[in-house]
Amino acid sequence: MQKRQLGKSGLEVSSIGLGCMGLSFAYGPALEQKAAITLIRDAFDKGVDFFDSAEAYGPYTNEALLGEALAPIRDQVVIATKFGFKNGRPDEGLDSRPETIKAVVEASLKRLKTDRIELLYQHRIDPQVPIEEVAGVVKQLVEAGKVLHFGMSEAGPDAIRRAHAVLPVAALQSEYSLWWREPEQQILPVLEELGIGFVPFSPLGKGFLTGAIDANTRFAEGDFRNVVPRFTEENRKANAHLVEVLGQIAEGKGATRAQVALAWLLAQKPWIVPIPGTTRLHRLEENIGAADLLLTPPDLAAIATALEQIKVVGDRYPAHLQKNVNR
């Protein structure tokens, strides 16, 4: 698989990473540990060297899983993880106090069975702690060799600039896909200006863009999509046209919808690295195959024209979670 640089940070990763959250959190029952470890190692064998986790995924279980899976190949991979929620639980609120950040990193290092974290993200901006203070603490961790690069997640332009002035931000992680293009308005220009990489999560629209979800789909108990406005039965029906158009384009390329959606992201900027997640080997192979799919300028123009005719319906977060985004 080809490699990409995350901005000007010097951090080089596979052009497609693996988002590990869904292996143990948010999308129904966790995958059995042995199967999850096998999937992670299969990803590495197929060229993926960029693995994304967080203390909040579980909480804690996802980092422990990743630590176990990557231990034999630790020096050949890049691990990203996150801090920022009280006790690692989003429902308990935000916590980016300096003492919390330091404690979280120490605990994460143990769970990940490592002596350093290549990319440490602030999971969400904490309005109670100045971002300069947060960046300053991470800078201390970088100087101590426990963290190699600083990242932010779902942050707005002002916070990005202020943090970057204290410690260069290597990457921003936020949602970006064919059905959530808001980052194009303000985020991508700032990242390009400052030389910051972009790591889109939910690059397949939480599975919707694959075509595997329709108005009749029933999600498992505990699946986050049960409370996402965009995934109500009515909104799934309204958004089906986007999947139809994506299918037409994919058929013309001899590819799948997922591959076109990922290839579209890769074509936007050379410093964009999507991190699709999956629990199935055939989906993993499909996603990785997107790295070899070249969308030509006419292809991209056709997609742009089609998107202009489509209005995506429904918010991407329930209201109580939306308030933590783009501060």
> What is the amino acid identity at position 244?
E
Residue type, position 10, single letter:
G
Alpha-carbon distance of 271 to 155, in angstroms, equals 18
Range list of β-strands (E), the chain? 3-5, 12-14, 18-19, 50-52, 78-83, 117-122, 147-153, 169-175, 197-201
131 in helix, strand or coil?
Answer: helix
At residue 111's C-alpha, the angle toward residues 39 and 226, to 5°, is: 60
Q: Are residues 1 and 68 in contact, defined by beta-carbon separation less than 8 angstroms?
A: no
Question: Residue 128 to residues 93, 94, 96, 132: CA-CA distances in angstroms?
Answer: 11, 9, 8, 12
User: Of 86, 183, 181, 147, nearest to 172 (Cα)?
Assistant: 183
> End-to-end distance of the chain based on CA atoms, in angstroms?
35
User: Coil, strand, or helix at residue 151?
Assistant: strand
Find the catalytic residue in 27, 57, 121, 176.
Answer: 57
Q: Is 27 designated active site?
A: no
Instruction: Please report how the helices 157-166 and 187-194 are oriented relative to each other, as an axis angle in degrees rounded to 10.
Output: 20
Catalytic residues: 57
